[in-house]
Amino acid sequence: MTITPLDPWIKAKIGQHEGKKLSAEKLYRYQTDRLREVIDYVRRKSPFYRKHLAGVPEDFLSCPKDITRLPFTTEADLRGQCLDMLCVSQSDISRIVTLFSSGSTAAPKRLFFTDEDLELTVDFFHHGMTTLTDPKSRVMIFMPGKKPGSIGDLLKKGLMRMNSVGFAYGPVTDSDDAMDALLKFKPHCLVGLPVQMLGLARHPGKTGIPEGLIKSILLSADYVPASIVAELESSLNVTVYEHYGMTEMGLGGGVQCRHREGYHLREADLFFEVIDPQTGQPQIDGRTGEVVFTTLTRRGMPLVRYRTGDLAKFLQGSCPCGTSLRRMGKVKGRISGAAKRVWTV
């Protein structure tokens, strides 16, 4: 039984010094405090939230569940009012991500991150990657990585902290070139989109990969078909892990542990809910609904009750790894009408 590395990481982040494992009670109290803080912070700093949360009494929140009394934020807010959602001056922003929706003429969504916000993501990538790759390994990243603050760049920084080397090759556009680069770099772990990784697994050049070299693959996408996981595992003799995240979450949201029975979530940085998409009320535990989250630690542009459009559920019962962290089941799709996700470069 290997407990998820997210357990000791979150335990340290919330300042729990006693006990061997993360305490659910401590995490509950930590999340209550952070939620109070972030609501107070956005009301003081952001013109959007001042209006959006007008009429909400001070000190209304005595437990995380009370957050359900607040209105949601949506993609439309990110399209139309992103500057008013900022809580710091633009000179304090080090990364702006612009997300266009494919096949839509709607204004793009914009997300703003400070250096401190990006550091939170690097820290998550560092600890999340220890789930699936050993220190001193080589990790080939088939995700955008040229720009500072891009997913590949932040993942490389996280890997450096475990004495590993990341190579941000970028998305696969030419599979011959990608296979050549892979054979030269000799990675122990691959990170990429499901269909692109499948393309590499079916490429004739894969016979040149030394037996047992690649041990794991991390797939990042909003939906990962089980058939792709099965083919990758049998064809390359690897273990496939899945990551759940989106730019709005600060790229990272959660990752499977070695038992691969749901995602463990970044619960010290993000507070997750699952709601009934029709009524907006909290979904009954164990039923699929829309994933909603609130950022607990971001400073540039915090999001309060952001509706992701993703459909998933909290898994009941505890994970065999032994953590008290919650588990979210695989994303089953998007609610109708929600824009398709787009990866940024």
* Residues at the contact surface with Zn ion, assessed by CB under 5 A: 4, 257, 319, 321
User: Residue 16 CB, nearest distance to Zn ion (Å)?
Assistant: 18
* C-alpha pair distances (Å), 332 with each of 73, 143, 146, 163, 315: 22, 23, 31, 35, 13
DSSP string for residues in 82-94: HHHH--S-GGG--
User: Residue 185 CB, nearest distance to Zn ion (Å)?
Assistant: 30
CA distance 309 to 296: 20
User: Residue 142 CB, nearest distance to Zn ion (Å)?
Assistant: 26
User: Residue 231 CB, nearest distance to Zn ion (Å)?
Assistant: 24
Nearer to Zn ion, 36 or 258 (CB): 258
How many CA atoms are closer than 13 Å to the CA of 63, on its beta-carbon side? 4
Q: How far apart are the first and last CA of the chain?
A: 38
CA distance 328 to 81: 30
**DSSP-assigned letter for residue 291:** E
H or E segment to which residue 328 belongs: strand 327-328
Nearer to Zn ion, 39 or 319 (CB): 319
Selection from 314, 324, 310 nearest residue 25 by Cα: 324
Nearer to Zn ion, 217 or 319 (CB): 319
Helix, coil or strand: residue 73: strand
CA distance 37 to 59: 10
Nearer to Zn ion, 48 or 272 (CB): 272
How many CA atoms are closer than 13 Å to the CA of 193, on its beta-carbon side? 17
Nearer to Zn ion, 19 or 337 (CB): 19
CA distance 17 to 8: 10
Nearer to Zn ion, 140 or 321 (CB): 321
User: Residue 331 CB, nearest distance to Zn ion (Å)?
Assistant: 18
User: Residue 261 CB, nearest distance to Zn ion (Å)?
Assistant: 7
Phi then psi for residue 282, to 5 deg, are: -55, 135
Nearer to Zn ion, 19 or 55 (CB): 19
User: Residue 8 CB, nearest distance to Zn ion (Å)?
Assistant: 13
